[in-house]
Amino acid sequence: MKFLGYVFWAAVAAGAAVCLGAIAILRGEHINSMWLVLAAACTYAIGYRFYAKFISARVMALNDKRATPAERLRNGHDFEPTNKWIVFGHHFAAIAGPGPLVGPVLAAQFGYLPGTLWIIIGAVLGGAVQDFVILFASMRRDGKSLGQMAREEIGKVGGFIALVTVLIIMVILLAVVALVVVNALRGSPWGTFTIAATMPIALFMGLYLRYLRPGKVLECSVIGCVLLIASIFGGQWVAESASWAPVFTLGAMALAIAVIVYGYLASVLPVWLFLAPRDYLSTFVKLGVVFMLAIGILFARPELQLPAFTRFTDGTGPIFAGKVFPFCFITIACGAISGFHSLISSGTTPKMIAKEWHAWPVGYGSMLLESFVAIMAMIAACVLQPGVYFAVNSPAGVVGATPAAATATISSWGFPVSPAEMSELARNVGEQTLFYRTGGAPSLALGMAHIFAKSGGGPAILGFWYHFAIMFEALFILTIIAAGTRVGRFMIEDLLGSATGVSRRGGWTGILITSAAIVAGWGYFLVQGVRDPLGGINSLWPLFGIANQLLAAIALCVATTIILKMHGARYMWITCVPLVWLVTVTFSAAWQKIFSPVPAIGFLAQAGKLSAGPQTAATATLIFNAHLDAVVCGILLLLVAVVLADSVRVWSGILRGTVEAEIHEAPFVPSQLRPEEL
């Protein structure tokens, strides 16, 4: 039996090596997407079975005889021992956002290979390790948050900086995902109607759950899903109606204002009325679509049309500027490693873990599944013809302001595409045009529609699948905006409270003012993105990637400190290797974003170039925005440099014996949980 096990795992390892080798070596011909799927699945299996088990047994010394906080502090609310697969599903639903879908689509401008390798290797050695170690640390510390652990293990500075960094990330994240939605819905009456319809659907669900059938969340969500599908058909009718289509055909600025108003209202309305039902609905739809996409890829097994590498690895990419190193590694954050996950791993999840060994599938396994979602997004982007992919994702400021100019520019790069081809594709999906739809969502929707249509229905229902995918992306992005604005509001109240000593979370005046402050913050960056001649994504997505990866660096500092206190320097490399890589990547990316002499990359060079040209009010705003982006980037660098320096001080003290390696774990209590209780 043991021998068969060896043979099985040797075969899986060989499968991983062969598939990774094939996708890395094959050139000049289209490869099938199954190579990517198998390479990822086999590598994940090896990482999960051997590396994660090694960390569980040797480094964490997980012990099922030790009572977890879920058992010791059981209260029927947050702390509750729960079946491991239920916690797995819950945790995965919490960590899976738009990041693993949008990032790989944007990074596909370098070709499929750099992004794919980073997603697979980054997740196995970095992202999943971060999530797992932070989950373990929080579980051993009564479910403490990342900020609390940073304060305890590194010092007060670390905890405060973690809070400020999260607030900055939140502002940039909300702006960039709002821009993705704006660019997806611009000039699209079908999409705009469908998304507008989700507002009354959410309100109906809120009232249904409150007054008609309290507690029946699944039942209510099924009704919501049926209404959502109906709204997609309604959108098609609106788009074809001569009188209604103009009402729902909005420009980018009008949509940006609508999203800003939406964010504000969602933040101040009672949570049960709007945000909660919307969140239930978007989570279920998200899980359903991820499942459908996996089935679709397995069924259709499409060929990748994008090459392994494109010419844009040299930094001249039209979607965002910058070389493959370091920009590929900050463009794909969620899916490979995401600092935000450390907040979830130290949030609800550690309070639900029934047995310590359950942290293995939940912490490490969930991240691998998220990474697989990123692989699927990469496949969806790469099944498009390269010319179409670049025509959809490139801003007018780079490729030219007319379809003829844009297709001529893109064709001159070696990716042939014609205006007629783009017109036909737009007609097939029920859009007026697909040019300049930066942000990744429309090209992802096109790729998904292509896969779904190939799996069943054919080109006749391409329009339905395209708008289904757009609805799915916009639905949960707008839910993140609503929830994020509310959380940002609380953070401002907390920061003001700790600065003034006045009690936080006050009455209506406080709610209205702090909501306005957080909405003004991300709304400013959103409008900046809408006005940006390079499409906004070029500036904002790298900024978001840098911020998210810097939060991961903070989480890995905390994780390294904890491992160091437990074992000395012996196992430090487990978190130190991804930390060193992240610091190298993010610091070099941030440095280039600020100081690169190339105006498309460096904010200061961009401001300098604008200053040298003709001066108008619009130019003055663009110059100010470029300086602002540089300052935000600089602040993030400084904050993380402080945490890093503080951590290195603590590590060196522990290794030299001048700092006490105090482990702040809760004391051992034997578990008395019976299997039937799960």
Q: Which residues bind another protein (CB under 8 A)?
A: 75-78, 80, 82-83, 85-86, 88-90, 93-99, 166, 170, 173, 177, 209-211, 214-218, 221, 271-272, 275-276, 280, 283-284, 287, 333-334, 338, 340-341, 343-344, 347-348, 479-480, 483-484, 486-487, 490, 544, 548
- The CB-of-526 to another protein minimum distance in angstroms stands at 16
Q: Compare residues 46 and 201 and give the one whose CB is closer to another protein.
A: 201
Q: How many CB atoms lie within 10 A of CB 656?
A: 8
CA distances from 579 to 169, 188, 254, 484 (A): 19, 43, 42, 27
Q: Compare residues 2 and 77 and give the one whose CB is closer to another protein.
A: 77
Q: Compare residues 76 and 670 and give the one whose CB is closer to another protein.
A: 76
Q: Compare residues 208 and 389 and give the one whose CB is closer to another protein.
A: 208
- The CB-of-205 to another protein minimum distance in angstroms stands at 11
CA distances from 221 to 90, 387, 471 (A): 17, 39, 16
Q: How many CB atoms lie within 10 A of CB 194?
A: 29
| CA pair distance 327, 306, nearest whole angstrom | 19
- The CB-of-570 to another protein minimum distance in angstroms stands at 32
Q: Compare residues 85 and 624 and give the one whose CB is closer to another protein.
A: 85
Distance of CA 152 to the CA centre of its chain: 28
| CA pair distance 254, 277, nearest whole angstrom | 26
DSSP 303: B
- The CB-of-639 to another protein minimum distance in angstroms stands at 17
| CA pair distance 179, 261, nearest whole angstrom | 14
- The CB-of-76 to another protein minimum distance in angstroms stands at 3
Q: Compare residues 214 and 246 and give the one whose CB is closer to another protein.
A: 214
Q: Compare residues 218 and 242 and give the one whose CB is closer to another protein.
A: 218
Long-range contacts of 33-39 (CB under 8 A, 24+ apart): 33/297, 33/301, 33/302, 33/303, 33/304, 33/379, 33/382, 33/383, 34/301, 36/112, 36/116, 36/304, 36/375, 36/378, 36/379, 37/297, 37/298, 37/375, 37/379, 39/116, 39/120
- The CB-of-631 to another protein minimum distance in angstroms stands at 22
Tokens of 347: 């949030």
231 contacts: CB under 8 Å, gap ≥ 6: 193, 194, 197, 198, 201, 471
- The CB-of-565 to another protein minimum distance in angstroms stands at 27
Q: Compare residues 281 and 382 and give the one whose CB is closer to another protein.
A: 281
- The CB-of-145 to another protein minimum distance in angstroms stands at 9
CA distances from 141 to 231, 363, 475, 529 (A): 46, 16, 36, 41
Q: Compare residues 206 and 535 and give the one whose CB is closer to another protein.
A: 206
- The CB-of-656 to another protein minimum distance in angstroms stands at 37
